[in-house]
Amino acid sequence: MGIVAGLDSSSAFTQIVVCDADTGAVLRQGYAPHPVDPKATEIDPQAWLLSLGEAAAGGLLEGVQAIGVSAQQHGLVLLDQQGTLVRPALVGNDKRAQIAAADLIDGLGGRQAWAEAVGSVPQASHPVAKLRWLAREEPQAAQRVAGVLQPHDWLVWQLLGRPARRTTDRGGASATGYWSASAGSYRSDLVELALGHQCGLPEVLGPADAAGTTPEGLLISAGTGETMAAAFGLGVAAGDAVVSLGASGSVTAVHHEALADPSGMITSYADATGMHLPVVHTLNAVRVLRGTAEMLGLDDLEALSELAMKSTPGSSGLVLLPYLEGERTPRLPHTAGTLSGLRRESMKPEHLARAAFEGMLCSLADAMDVLRGRGVEVRRVFLLGASAELPAVQAAAPGIFGAQVVVPQPADYAALGAARQAAWALGVSQGTLSPAAPPVWQGASVQVLEPGEELATGQAVRQQYSVTRDQLHPGAFAPGQ
């Protein structure tokens, strides 16, 4: 069918993969950092274009027929009536809108009202909360806003030559806080509630739709957010969950319907195929391991894993509740971590090391159970992140999760998902693919871990963790908490 490219514009870099459109085989790759601090809360979007140009240098896109775009989620690009930037873009890690998010929750009548309206309860990161923050803190700038885009929308618009028509996709729209994944439509009243007036919103394209064609004849697909693109690149389907091990953690599953969750623990996104991606976040994942390594005077996580493997399942009775930065799942924003079960025989470095791994994984299993409790089936778990390679993680994860665990080889799956989306849109335009079925690409090389004999011990570890959690935080997972 041809050659396609996927570009992933994350908070820190641009990664481009050029793939065979039929098989997904990676033909060549490009990379460039963003010329800004990745921790910045504001950015000139031109930095994304500069990084893109550097990543594509040297003829990387020669022969490419279609491009898909993935980008960091929850960013907000604000445009005036002429399509000029009103101010620097606000990016996802900006926490200044916490009070604004609380105001919005009250303004619509509570968490239940928001969950039913758009499938999520406003957080500081959501574009709808950023709009409210802007209206309160920079009212003159807010009054100039005539259109809003997310980062992948803006990049698609730039690649197409800034046409009058601006577009997004279901996945990106579902991350805004003013588009309902269940209804498939915008809630423009929520934009007005946040910003103080109506403004132009991008057209929401279907999964296989093209956003347009560049002046050079390149087809540009709809684009999507990084979470949706990574899921599409991995090839996850119903029955699969993706557990991401970063400083914080997340559990993302594929489901046939949007979920409304008034507790705010579940954020219901749309995916890049027509399905849905309910996500549950935890605030503490690998930061728990790093903190424990520092406490024990170890240089890296590999050393922590090696030490943990000298202990046994259950860590000789030690339980670490890993709520070091407070916690989002369960909602305990002002709590702290707890080490329980200290006895003379358990006061050894190897038991503390293993308790850190078990506490992190049990916390993520709690997040997974939030989804299972809403009818989401999880038969297989994809484990992502550099820490997924650690022996202590791999030894404990299948039993604690109670499912087959798959560890894919490291890759930029968001860029691969963007490329697969480009191949789908290209195939539909050529009449070789159906809008109802994406191209079938070769799967990633994976390591498969079965729970096997470890299932019983893993579930015993979960039980020990759950008893401790419920004693210290009774009702943490009660409905409405």
Predicted confidence (pLDDT) per residue in 97-121, tens digit: 999 999 999 999 999 999 999 988 9
* Mean pLDDT calculated for residue range 292-300: 97
Q: Does the predicted TM-score (pTM) go above 0.95?
A: no
Assess if residue 411 is contained within a domain: no
330 φ, ψ to 5°? -75, 170
- Burial category of 58 from C-beta neighbours within 10 Å (exposed 0-12, middle 13-18, buried 19 and up): exposed
Name 180's bridge partners: 185
Taking only the tens place, the pLDDT of each residue in 181-204 is 989 999 999 999 999 999 999 999
Instruction: Give the model confidence (pLDDT) of 239-272 as tens digits.
Output: 999 999 999 999 999 999 999 888 888 988 999 9
CA–CA dist 19, 205 (Å, integer): 23
Whether residue 353 is contained in a domain is answered as no
What's the domain count of the chain?
1
Which residue range is the domain that position 212 belongs to? 3-228
pLDDT tens profile 328-360? 899 898 999 999 999 999 999 999 999 999 999
Residue-averaged pLDDT of the chain:
95
Q: Is the backbone of residue 83 left (phi > 0), alpha (psi -120 to 50) or beta?
A: left
- For residue 126, tell me if it sits in a domain: yes
Report d(CA 167, CA 174) in Å as an integer: 13
Output the pLDDT for position 38.
67
Structure tokens at 377: 């089936």
In this structure, what token pair is assigned to residue 106?
Answer: 């009250």
pLDDT of res. 51 = 96
Q: What is the CATH number of the domain that holds 96?
A: 3.30.420.40
Question: Does residue 341 come out as left (phi exceeding 0), alpha (psi in the -120 to 50 range) or beta?
Answer: left
Specify if 426 maps to a domain: no
Q: Answer whether residue 148 is part of any domain.
A: yes
Evaluate whether residue 308 is within a structural domain. no
Residue 220 and residue 214 in contact, taking contact as beta carbons nearer than 8 Å? yes
Q: 479: pLDDT confidence band, cut at 50, 70 and 90?
A: low
Given its phi and psi angles, is residue 75 left (phi above 0), alpha (psi -120 to 50 degrees) or beta?
beta
Q: Is residue 445 part of a domain?
A: no
Is residue 58 assigned to a domain?
yes
Q: What is the pLDDT of residue 25?
A: 95
